[in-house]
Each structure stands twice: as C-alpha cells, then as structure tokens.
Amino acid sequence: MKRDFISMLDLTQDEIHQIFELSNTLKTSLKKGVAHKVLSDKTLAMIFEKPSLRTRVTFETGMTQLGGHAIYLAPTDARLGTRETIADGAKNLSRWVDVIMARVFAHKTVEDLAKNSSIPVINGLSDLEHPCQIMADLFTVIEKKGSLDGVVIAYVGDGNNVCNSFIAAARILGFQLRIATPPGYEPAGHYLEQTNTVSLSGDPRVAIQDADIIYTDVWASMGQEKEAAQRREIFLPFQINRSLLESATRDFLVMHCLPAHRGEEITDAVIDGPESIVFDQAENRLHVQKAIMTWLIERS
C-alpha cells in the first residue's frame, strides 16, 4: 500500500525515527564519498506553484545522488486545476514517474494529488504545513542535542505552516514547544487542540526564557505581500535580536527555515552569530528529503 507524506501527522513516532536513522546513514555515506544509488532509475516529478531555492535544489540534487532523476515542472507547466484537473494530472504522473513532490499554495491541492495518485506524494510546502522542513529541523536538533528528550523549542513569529507542522511534531514526539505570536496570528486552532506539549503566549520573552532552540520564520509568506507593511509593525516586538535574547536562561541555538528577511524577523548579528545553526538545518533538507523519498518508495 502506497504511503504519502502530506502532514507530520502521516507518520508515527517510530516511523519518524526510522527516517532520521536513514537520513544519518545517507548523510554519512555522502560525506565519506560512498555511492548510495538506492533509487536507481526512479523518477521524481516536482510540481512548483511557488518558486524555491532550497526545495528545488535539495530534492533535485538528492534524487541525483540516489541514482534517480528529477523533473522540474514550473508554475507555467502543469497548471493543475486550471489546464486540467488535479485528479487527471495525478493519474497521468502515476503512469510515468515513481514519486511526486508538490510545492503549492492550497493544502487541498496536495491532498487531491495524493488521493488520485497511485504513487507517493510529498508535501514540499502548502499553506497549512511544511513537513519536510520540520523533519530536517528536528533531525538537526537531534544532531546538536543528542536527542529530543527534555528539549524545549521556542517558536517566535507568525503562526504559519511551519508552526503548524511543529505543533503536529510535538504531539507525536513529545517535546515541549513554546509559541509566541501576536494576537490574531496564532497557528491553526485544530492543531493546538491535538496536543498537550504546546503552550501559546503573546510574549516572546516568556517563550524563549528556558528554550534550548529559538526558532523564527518570515512575518509575511508568499501570497501575503499586501500585508507585509502592516505585519512589520505588528511583529516588530517579536524580532529575534540581541536585546530579546538576553531573556534566555539556557544555552540556546537559533534556527530559521529561510529565506530570511534580515533586519525584520531576525538581525544579522543573530543569524550570523555563534548560536546560529541556520545553515546546518538548510543542509539537512538534502539528507532528510533523500531519506523521505527512499522510505516512501520502498514501502509503496
């Protein structure tokens, strides 16, 4: 039976750790120069409704390193839901390729792809979740901290798709997540209802006080450009800067899923500072997504 990765909630705790173990194996092999062509002759179709640096490069490079091939479908290529139905597109791709990754606006698009395809579908980003990002982030935290046991993660900023996936991951894995976001910009309510390891605050200083990881993301995502000026005013007290970090009481590390709007949600002094592991987590998108593709294809 084929498996999809649309949401963090699609995986169990054991399955997440299986993927992390495989990520470590693949990363070690790459660093040692050991070939790992475990997806030889397999093809990935990459559907992009939004532009990307990390998502495109890591998936395409990853498939090449695994011995397979990736096909980039630009926003003007597939136009699923416009040029033809999402269902028809999914059924066509299922006859030609082995796995689909979709970076889309509406979460329903990736759900419909999964529903109508006979091959695995991966959510490369939607308006509701960004599960590949969170898998890479948590793998990075484990690398730095040894495990997630006792780890406290503070998420400061917009309650967006990244935040929703973090909440889902906390529910499954049991780590403590402290969220600080302005009123009216909280994460999806039905995600918050599903876990007791998450706390919500309007004060970033409270959230980061005992945090091991301090995490932020852009204040205005793609599609929210008209709100950007208003959001800059509202979110200014939530900027990750040296003054705010004085409230932290533990040794902490700083994360950002990128791209960063330097001088808005995070300052140069922090993102380029000694606590930053931002580019480590960006690198790990490659290794973890390779593991996700391999894991899904092997089980489908």
Positions marked active-site: 103, 130, 133, 217, 257, 285
Question: What is the number of helices (H) and of strands (E) in the chain?
Answer: 12, 9
Rg of the chain taking only CA atoms, in angstroms: 19
C-beta of residue 136 within 8 angstroms of C-beta of residue 165: no
Q: Compute the distance between CA of residue 34 and CA of residue 127 in angstroms, rounded to an integer.
A: 37
C-beta of residue 177 within 8 angstroms of C-beta of residue 198: yes
C-beta of residue 255 within 8 angstroms of C-beta of residue 137: yes
DSSP output for 193-239: TT-SSEEEES-HHHHHTT-SEEEE--SS-TT-GGGHHHHHHHHGGG-
- Residue 156's nearest CA partner among 174, 173, 134, 179 is 179
The gap from C-alpha 110 to its chain's centroid, in whole angstroms, comes to 15
The gap from C-alpha 207 to its chain's centroid, in whole angstroms, comes to 21
Q: Compute the distance between CA of residue 208 and CA of residue 244 in angstroms, rounded to an integer.
A: 9
